[in-house]
C-alpha cells in the first residue's frame, strides 16, 4: 500500500496540508481577510509596502486567529499522540486519552474551581486552565495506584471507569448546588478555543511537543510491549516501569491539552486508528504522523466550528463528535464482524 511504502512522503504531504489548512483558517471567519493580506501580515518582508495598512486585519490575524490556529494544532497533536500511545499500551483500537479519568477529573476540578471562585494564576494561565490540568493529572495518578500500580491493563481500565463515574457524579452535584455556573461548566466540557491567547500557546506548546518527542524516542519499547507482557519481558523491556512512563507522559500531554481547550472527544480515537490501518502499527512512524494528522483534524474542526453559523460559534467538541461518533460505531461493528 502507498501509505506504508512511502511514509516519509506521506509525512511531508501532511505537513503541506497542515500549512494550507492554517492559512485557509486565517482567511475565514466573521471578517473575511484576503489570502494575500494574510501573507503580508505574517511575512511583511515579502511585501514592498512592508505589510498591510489595514490595522483591523492585523489585530484580527495576530491577536485573535493566529494564536487560536496554533493552539488548535498543538492541542490536536497532543490528543492524537496520547491516543496513539494509549491504544498501544492497552492493545485496544478503542482506547483514548481520557480512559484513565482525565476528562472527568479535569471537569470536576473546573466545576469546583468555578463554584469556589478560584482565582489563582501561574505562568499567565488562568484558574480554569490550572484546575483542569491538576484535576486531570492527579486523577490519572489516583487511578494508577488504585489499580495496583498498573500490573494489569484490565485493572487500569476498570479503575479509570470507576473513578470517572465517581467524579462525574461529584461534578453533577457541584452543578446542582451552583446553578449559576451551569452554563459555563457545560460550555467548557464541550471544548472551545474562543479564549486562545499567546500565553496559552507559549505554555502548552513546550509541554505537548517536547513530551511527544520524548515518546518518539522510546517508541521502540512501545512496539515491543504490543506483543504482550511476557514477550516484552523476554526481550529485556521492564514492562511495569515502561508502562508507567508511557502513561505518565501521555497523561501529562492530555492534561496540558485539556487545560487550554476543555474536553474534546474523538481526536485521540479516530486519528490514531485511521493511521494504524493506513500505515501499520510501527510507533516510530505512527507517533509523528499522528502529531501532524491530529493537528489537521482539530484545526479543520475548529474552523468549521467558528464559521458554520458565523458569527455564532459552535463548541469544537460538537464538531469532532459529529465526525467521531459514526466512526466509533463503525469500530464496534467491525469488531463484531458485522462489517468488513
Highest mean pLDDT among 88-102, 173-187, 289-303: 289-303
Residue 122, φ and ψ in degrees, nearest 5: -150, 125
pLDDT at position 29 over 70: yes
Highest mean pLDDT among 39-48, 70-79, 331-340: 70-79
Domain ranges in the chain?
2-335
pLDDT at position 14 over 60: yes
- Exposure string over 172-183, b if 16+ CB within 10 A, otherwise e: eebbeebeebee
Residue with the three cell numbers 471562585: 117
Predicted pLDDT of residue 338: 57
Predicted pLDDT of residue 245: 92
Instruction: Please name the CATH architecture into which domain 2-335 falls.
Output: Orthogonal Bundle (1.10)
For residue range 143-172, what is the model confidence (pLDDT) as tens digits? Answer: 888 887 666 777 888 888 899 889 989 988
pLDDT-derived band of residue 120, with 50, 70 and 90 as boundaries?
Answer: low
334 and 275 Cβ atoms separated by less than 8 Å? no
191 and 250 Cβ atoms separated by less than 8 Å? no
pLDDT at position 275 over 80: yes
Mean pLDDT of the chain: 86
Amino acid at each position: 500500500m502507498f501509505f506504508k511504502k512511502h511514509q516519509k512522503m506521506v509525512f511531508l504531504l501532511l505537513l503541506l496540508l497542515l500549512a494550507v489548512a492554517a492559512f485557509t483558517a486565517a482567511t475565514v471567519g466573521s471578517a473575511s481577510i484576503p489570502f494575500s493580506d494574510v501573507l503580508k501580515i505574517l511575512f511583511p518582508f515579502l511585501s514592498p509596502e512592508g505589510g498591510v495598512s489595514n490595522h483591523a486585519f492585523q489585530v484580527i490575524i495576530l491577536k485573535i486567529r493566529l494564536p487560536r490556529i496554533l493552539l488548535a494544532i498543538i492541542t490536536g497533536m497532543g490528543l492524537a499522540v496520547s491516543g496513539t500511545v494509549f491504544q498501544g499500551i492497552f492493545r485496544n483500537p478503542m482506547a483514548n486519552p481520557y480512559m484513565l479519568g482525565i476528562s472527568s477529573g479535569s471537569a470536576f476540578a473546573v466545576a469546583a474551581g468555578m463554584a469556589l471562585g478560584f482565582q489563582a494564576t501561574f505562568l499567565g494561565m488562568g484558574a480554569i486552565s490550572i484546575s483542569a490540568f491538576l484535576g486531570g493529572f492527579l486523577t490519572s495518578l489516583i487511578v494508577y495506584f488504585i489499580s495496583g500500580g498498573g500490573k494489569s491493563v484490565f485493572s487500569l481500565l476498570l479503575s479509570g471507569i470507576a473513578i470517572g463515574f465517581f467524579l462525574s457524579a461529584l461534578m453533577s452535584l457541584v452543578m446542582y448546588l451552583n446553578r449559576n455556573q451551569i452554563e459555563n461548566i457545560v460550555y467548557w466540557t464541550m471544548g472551545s478555543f474562543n479564549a486562545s491567547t499567546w500565553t496559552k500557546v507559549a505554555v502548552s506548546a513546550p509541554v505537548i511537543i517536547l513530551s511527544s518527542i520524548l515518546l518518539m524516542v522510546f517508541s521502540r519499547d512501545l512496539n515491543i510491549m504490543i506483543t504482550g507482557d511476557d514477550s516484552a519481558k523476554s526481550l529485556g523491556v521492564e514492562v511495569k516501569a515502561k508502562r508507567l512512563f508511557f502513561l505518565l507522559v501521555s497523561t501529562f500531554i492530555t492534561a496540558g491539552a485539556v487545560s487550554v481547550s476543555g474536553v474534546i472527544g474523538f481526536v485521540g480515537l479516530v486519528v490514531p486508528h485511521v493511521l494504524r490501518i493506513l500505515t501499520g502499527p510501527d510507533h516510530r512512524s505512527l507517533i509523528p504522523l499522528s502529531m501532524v494528522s491530529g493537528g489537521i483534524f482539530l484545526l479543520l474542526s475548529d474552523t468549521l466550528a467558528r464559521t458554520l453559523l458565523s458569527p455564532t460559534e459552535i463548541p469544537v467538541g460538537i464538531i469532532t463528535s459529529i465526525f467521531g461518533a459514526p466512526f466509533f460505531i463503525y469500530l464496534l461493528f467491525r469488531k463484531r464482524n458485522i462489517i468488513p
